[in-house]
Amino acid sequence: MSYDTQVPPAAPRQAMRNGLGTAALILGIIGTLSGLIPLLFWLAGTLGVIALILGLVGKGRVKRGEANNKGVTLTGAILGLVSLILATVGLIITVTAVSDAVEEIDKSIKDAAPQDPTKAGGSSGDAGTADKGTADKGKGLADGDSSVYDDKLKITVSDPKAYTASEYAVGHTKGNKAYQVTVVVENGGTKKFDAVGVLLSARAGAEGVEAEQIFDEKVGAGFQGSVLPGKKATLTVAFDTPKAAKTLSVEVNPGFDYNPSQWELKLG
């Protein structure tokens, strides 16, 4: 006698969605290599932001069992963050080099210009030039206060609010608290303002420990592009603070031609 034995078909294997992690790794590598060349800071910054976001989202897929390339995804996110750091350093180097070159050219032109012997004080052609590096308020600004510079650039920082960082956030330490602030840049002048050069930093508590900036799916990217005359740009950033910290000092530096301003904020 023969018996027919029917074997049930095997369940279809779920296809792993590893594309985001792989893309994050590739973009992170390209961004990091670009960041090694200061003039390519713009490319490193752009690729770094994209790689970081893709890496964080890809890590979420790994967590849910939809992907299995945890190492690739994590490496891509880390390289994205490295690209952002290198982009910032490249921006500083490039702007400093250009500024030094312009100063040298101006100095050479002034040295080569003929002097009028009848004027003891020399040329006064630069009289009335505004020093845009000076703000009307330099220190100890409170939440909601604005720092206005001579070229009518206006920086405002809001009061801090509690922020819940995602489980894949970079820069947040377990057990610490997170707070978000809103930074508004308003261009009241006559020339466009390059917002890419705006630098943000913070310190927390009476000890003034560094409050690390948080990067996740909602916060972390800096200002992008330019702010035209009469326009505003708004950015929400989050900082990691010790649990017992009662104050947060936020410093905003609009660029190399400006002096930084600080806000002393109370934490709830």
Residue 248 maps to a domain: yes
Q: Which segments of 115-258 are extended strands (E)?
A: 146-148, 153-157, 161-162, 177-187, 193-194, 199-204, 209-210, 226-227, 232-241, 247-253
Residue 55 maps to a domain: yes
pLDDT of residue 9: 56
Q: What six digits make up the tokens of 83?
A: 């690209």
End-of-domain residue from the set 53, 74, 94 = 94
Residue 2 maps to a domain: no
In a shared domain, residues 175 and 80: no
d(CA 53, CA 73): 11
Using DSSP, state whether 190 is helix, strand or coil. coil
Residue 121 maps to a domain: no
Q: What does pTM read for this prediction? A: 0.52
End-of-domain residue from the set 79, 94, 109 = 94
In a shared domain, residues 50 and 161: no
pLDDT per residue over 177-220, tens digit each? 989 999 999 999 999 999 888 988 899 988 888 988 888 888 87
pLDDT per residue over 164-179, tens digit each? 888 888 888 888 898 9
Residue 137 binned pLDDT confidence (cut-offs 50, 70, 90): very low
* Rounded mean pLDDT, 225-245: 91
End-of-domain residue from the set 69, 94, 119 = 94
Q: What six digits make up the tokens of 193?
A: 């303002």
Judged against a pLDDT cut of 80, whether residue 229 lies above it is answered with yes
Range of the domain at 41: 19-94
In a shared domain, residues 74 and 180: no
In a shared domain, residues 84 and 157: no
Residue 261 maps to a domain: yes
Q: What is the CATH classification number for the domain harbouring 233?
A: 2.60.40.1240
pLDDT of residue 128: 32
Q: Tell me which residue of 91, 102, 75 sits closest to 38, measured CA to CA.
A: 91
Residue 131 maps to a domain: no
pLDDT per residue over 30-65, tens digit each? 989 988 898 888 898 898 899 889 888 888 888 888
* Rounded mean pLDDT, 228-240: 92
* Rounded mean pLDDT, 133-145: 66
Residue 188 maps to a domain: yes
Q: What six digits make up the tokens of 257?
A: 């031609």
Residue 8 maps to a domain: no
In a shared domain, residues 251 and 167: yes
pLDDT per residue over 69-86, tens digit each? 888 888 988 988 998 899
CA 171 to centroid of chain Cα atoms: 13
Residue 15 binned pLDDT confidence (cut-offs 50, 70, 90): low
Domain count, the chain: 2
